[in-house]
Amino acid sequence: MPLDIRALDTVSPADIADYHGLMGELYAVEFPDIDPPTVEAVETMLRPNPADVGTRVWLGREGGRLVGGARLDLLGQENVGLARIGVRVRPVDRRRGLGTALLQSAIPAIRDSGYDRLIGGAWGGGPGSRWAAAQGFRTTASFVMQRLEIAGGGWRALAGPMPDGFELRRWVGRVPDDMVESYVDGLIAFEDRPGDQASWRFPSRTVERLRDEEERLLGRGVEQRGLVAMESATGAVAGMTVVELTPDDQERAFQKVTAVLPRHRGLGLGVRMKTAMLAWIEDDRPGVRRIQTGTATANVHMIRINHALGFADAFVSLALEQSVAELLQRFPD
């Protein structure tokens, strides 16, 4: 059956359904104990991100059956010059050159973009990382993905009052106006990335960008819940933790960021915020059974805290990179 790779002009509900099926098969083989992405998450995977300069999606079919897909994003903002590729092939259709063919479909768009670095991601030790190595990618950063079953775990034993001089504030959906400036300043604490050689940079934080992101998530029905550790004397934000709940996944939440400003570290604020968040979710959203999070492998302190809370390591996620010049040598015209 010949392989037919087409660039999508628009993403149809049938494309989303087919891709959801592909992701389900992929997870069943690679991560049998992890919930596969929801339809909503798959839809997001196929739609452009407004902060980027351009997005292209290719789907590969054999006799009408979806066998794989590729997505190329020309990143914007602080990451102009970085193109991100994601390639996925149905497990039963691997090692027939389909992944390479999908990457090859994206080459003209990568070349024409004038962007000079290509980045990607894969799970450590999995077929994606071996395929990527064969395509010339190198690992530039790694993250431990961890997961906690809320009903179990030792987190309750670590719950307790805030250290003297600090108090907790909660928010849902939007960071309150009276602390948003201080909150954005505090987010920068999240951005020290030990052991990371990736070219990708955190987009610089501004109140305007934070508000845009909040509106985008609210528009998709995604609920963000935040807890802030506030310095009582000044009202300044000392740290924060944020969890994201998606509308069609009632059982699982994703812990996005937990950060404590450098000058407030070592007081236990991170643990107190995390346990308070877990207690809040348990009380308020009893249907949510599992929290997932990702932490830089070199951030041994946060990984240790998560273990103490009852998080178990699920897998390692790798950031991959190569120069476009190297890629074009590999795939000359």
Ligand X SMILES: CC(C)(COP(=O)(O)OP(=O)(O)OC[C@H]1O[C@@H](n2cnc3c(N)ncnc32)[C@H](O)[C@@H]1OP(=O)(O)O)[C@@H](O)C(=O)NCCC(=O)NCCS
In sequence order, the 6+-apart residues with CB closer than 8 A to the CB of 52 are 73, 74, 75, 76
Q: What is the CA radius of gyration of the chain?
A: 21
CA-CA distances (angstroms) from residue 178 to 182, 218, 238? 9, 20, 15
Among 36, 37, 99, 186, contact with ligand X (rule: CB under 6 A): 99
Comparison of 69 and 226: residue with beta carbon closer to ligand X: 69
- Among positions 101-160, residues that touch ligand X (CB under 6 A) are 120, 122, 126-128, 130-132, 134
Comparison of 30 and 249: residue with beta carbon closer to ligand X: 30
Q: 151-189 as b/e, with b when 16 or more CB fall inside 10 Å?
A: eebebeebeeebeeebebbebeeebeeebbebbbebbeb
Comparison of 52 and 184: residue with beta carbon closer to ligand X: 52
Please report how close the Cβ of residue 57 comes to ligand X at its closest, in angstroms. 13
Measure the CA–CA gap between 95 and 102, rounded to whole angstroms. Answer: 13
Among 6, 65, 77, 97, contact with ligand X (rule: CB under 6 A): 97
Share in percent of the chain as helix, strand, coil (round to 5): 35, 30, 30
Among 66, 98, 240, 319, contact with ligand X (rule: CB under 6 A): 98
In sequence order, the 6+-apart residues with CB closer than 8 A to the CB of 42 are 16, 19, 20, 23
Comparison of 17 and 134: residue with beta carbon closer to ligand X: 134
Comparison of 26 and 230: residue with beta carbon closer to ligand X: 26
Contact call for residue 171 and ligand X (CB under 6 A): no
- Among positions 75-94, residues that touch ligand X (CB under 6 A) are 85-89, 94
Please report how close the Cβ of residue 298 comes to ligand X at its closest, in angstroms. 22
Report whether 218 contacts 173 (CB < 8 A): yes
# residues contacting ligand X (CB under 6 A): 22
Q: Which residues bind ligand X (CB under 6 A)?
A: 26, 85-89, 94-100, 120, 122, 126-128, 130-132, 134
